[in-house]
Amino acid sequence: MSFETKEKDLLARIGKLKTRSGTVETPLLFPVVNPFTQLVSPCRLKEEFGFEAVITNAYILKRHVGNQPARDDLHKFLGFDGTVMTDSGAYQILVYGDVETTPKEIVEYQENIGSDIATILDIPTGWKVTEDHAKKTVCETLKRAKQFQGFRVRDDILWVGPVQGGKYLNLVAQSAKEMGKLPFPIHALGSPTEVMERYRFDVLVDMIMAAKMNLPIERPLHLFGAGHPFMFALAVALGCDFFDSAAYALYAKENRYMTETGTLRLTELEYFPCMCPKCARSTPEMVSELPEKEKETFLAEHNLHVCAGELRCIKQAIKDGRLWEHVEMRAHGHPTLFQAFKKLKKYQSFIEKNAPATKSSGLFYFDSMGLMRPEILSHRKKMTERYTPPKSEIVILTPQTSMKPFHKSGTFKELLGRLPEKLRNAKKVHVCFYAAPFGVVPMELDEVYPLSQHETVLPLDNETVEYVAEQVSNYIITTSYKKVILVDDKATWNNIVLKACRRACAKKGIGFQSINLRCGRQ
């Protein structure tokens, strides 16, 4: 049993999880299968929709069919030859307050029926609870997780160690830290469903990160009850590897139509904004006239297609090194999702630490929201902690050019030609560029990834200009130049960098000179 990372971007990864029934690829959605009310047969979930794994509720099976899945084999009972995960009945505890089984009984039952991935009977925290109640759920879940190690028998099942605590982040962190000490190959974040139903994605970000930052980073993380495609990208970027949900079917019962950017009602649609195999051959009017069961099945199948399609888009974005751009685009689908996206600034140091240092492609910078990107923080840290400028008395700060690398552009060469000859002597002066979104780019580092491997939208927004000005100011203050010469491009920087340089030089007591030279574009 193993989990192997193939590709990375932000905290996301394309991974391979080896289970008893085969290897599955992450990020992965487990559609919930209820064998008693299933709209889309499990075999079709794999053959037509491409889902490599499903999840079913072991507690419901135990109550309704007893040992039949054990006699028939769980996979044959469900009619699914891929990986099968089972939940333990914890959701029923959240809804009904209790279940008619014990932690030991449900573990034994999951072992008997042959689950590939199984879950201990944890105690979900829920949403409208006090901190004292939340603490009890954390303590009881940890107690059961430790007891489980003593009565498990099979070693070919991947067991899930759930993390609880709900909206109380200190408890989520404590739960994750203690659960991470136990030998679970997979962890799961419990109690997010009510948070998502209330569109509190900002709280969800905090919950995921409280867990992720305190669990072993190499272990996959499952986000229980997350099944809407419009939030997959954000959750994957934060390090969630698995999802499960019955939303595809539950939404269909309510005539709700999923998209990558939100949910629509069938009655609101004149056109299907989708080219999945279902929508391509029909219209909203035609579907509305179908018998109720057929309409429900149509919507469930569409919802499955859009979920699978979004996961494929996310995987390609990870492989291309463009997951940030994809998350940023999806975040604009709803104000609450965009508000959650802003929360990434709070965790940018952890993300930067675990994100890949280089990628196969450059980055697209649109506006100041991109200042949270790990590449920008990484450059700032390297300039502060690892970069030593040459021993030059004068630094020339010149603006970015449209061509990259900057020092090879005709604009820059023309600029150098206009400077006094003594300033063109490389032994006496050091040349740096001030550029969005990175700040200061020393000429000798101009071609280092990603300083020349990016595209930036012009004109720059005020926050980006202010950020670059701040980085220039910090650079002047922390270096040992005796004089700063700024080539000021007023059209792009609106004198903001000029003023920051002047203040920094005055504070440090060194010479300052500005050259009002309008650089051409090349």
Active site residues: 87
Helix or strand (DSSP H, E) at 15: strand 12-19
Please state, in angstroms and rounded to a whole number, the distance separating the CA atoms of residues 59 and 88: 6
Rounded Cα gap, residues 305 and 311, in angstroms: 10
Distance CA 94, CA 21 (A): 30
Residue 193, Cβ density class (10 Å: 0-12 exposed, 13-18 middle, ≥19 buried): buried
Q: Are 517 and 488 in contact (CB under 8 A)?
A: yes
**The amino acid at 493:** W
Distance CA 249, CA 296 (A): 8
Name residue 279's amino acid: C
DSSP-assigned beta bridge partners for residue 455:
364
β-pair type (262-265, 2-9): unpaired
Distance CA 405, CA 402 (A): 9
Percent of the chain that is helix, strand, coil (3-state, to 5): 45, 20, 35
Instruction: Return the SS3 of 65.
Output: helix
Between the CA atoms of 469, 473, 475 and 478, what dihedral angle is there, to the nearest 10 degrees? -160
Q: Give CA–CA dist 468/193, Å, rounded.
A: 40
CB contact at 8 A, 193 and 159: no
Nearest to 286 by CA among 305, 271, 302: 271
Cβ–Cβ < 8 Å for 233, 332: no
